[in-house]
Amino acid sequence: MEKMNIKPLDKIGAGTAVRIVTIEAGSGLKNRLAAMGLLADVQIRVVRNDGAGQIIINVKSSKVILGRGMSHKVFVVEI
């Protein structure tokens, strides 16, 4: 059921809370993201997404800018 709704993060509108399902990236990048609190099962909220360019998300108590390409590799489900 849930699998149906998995979307890349860049398709999520501002103000939406989501949970990270998986990040499809190499080990180095995944590690970097993990160090900033971004890894599977973490809940985040999209703060800014203009449909182009970088997006801003809220993770734990911090705000993080993600490049568009980057955010395309983060797969999430809405909660």
Partner 1 sequence: MASSKPIQKLTVALAGNPNSGKTTVFNGLTGARHRVANYPGVTVEKKEGSFRYREYELNVVDLPGTYSLTAYSTEELVARHFIFESHPDVVVDVLDASNIERNLYLATQLMEMQVPLVLAFNMSDVAEGRGLKFDLAQLEKLLGAQIVPMVASKRKGVDELLEAIVETATQAHTNVLTLHYGHEIEEELSKIEKLLRGQERVFPEKYPIRWVALKLLEGDAEVRDWIKEASVRQQVEASRQHLKVVLGDHADIAIAGRRYGFISGACQETIKDTVQSRHDISDLIDTVLTNRYLGLPIFTVLMFAVFYSTFKVGQYPMGWLEGFFGWLGAAIYNSWPQDTLLALRSLVVDGVIGGVGGVVIFLPNILLLFLGIAILEDTGYMARAAFVMDRIMHKIGLHGKSFIPMLIGFGCSVPAIMATRILENRRNRLATMLVIPLMSCGARIAIYALFVAAFFPPHLRGPMMLLIYFIGIVLAIVCIQILRKTILKGETVPFVMELPPYRMPTFKGLSIHMWDRGWVYLKKAGTVILMISIVLWAAISYPKPAAQRLAGLDELQQQSIALQSSVAGHIGKAIEPALKPLGFDWKIGTALIGASMAKEVFVSQLSIIYSLGDSEEGLEALQGHLQEDYTPLQGFCVMLFCLISAPCIATVAIMRRESGAWKWAAFQYFGLTALAYILTLAVYQTGRLFLG
Per CB under 8 A, 64 contacts partner 1 = yes
Q: Of residues 5, 6, 31, 43, which one binds partner 1 by CB under 8 A?
A: 31
| Residues 14, 37: Cα–Cα separation, whole Å | 19
| Residues 23, 39: Cα–Cα separation, whole Å | 7
Q: Of residues 37, 43, 78, 79, which one binds partner 1 by CB under 8 A?
A: 37
Q: Of residues 20, 46, 59, 76, which one binds partner 1 by CB under 8 A?
A: 59
Q: How far are the Cα atoms of 1, 48, 52, 74 from residue 30, in angstroms, in the given order?
A: 26, 22, 23, 10
Per CB under 8 A, 70 contacts partner 1 = yes
Per CB under 8 A, 17 contacts partner 1 = no
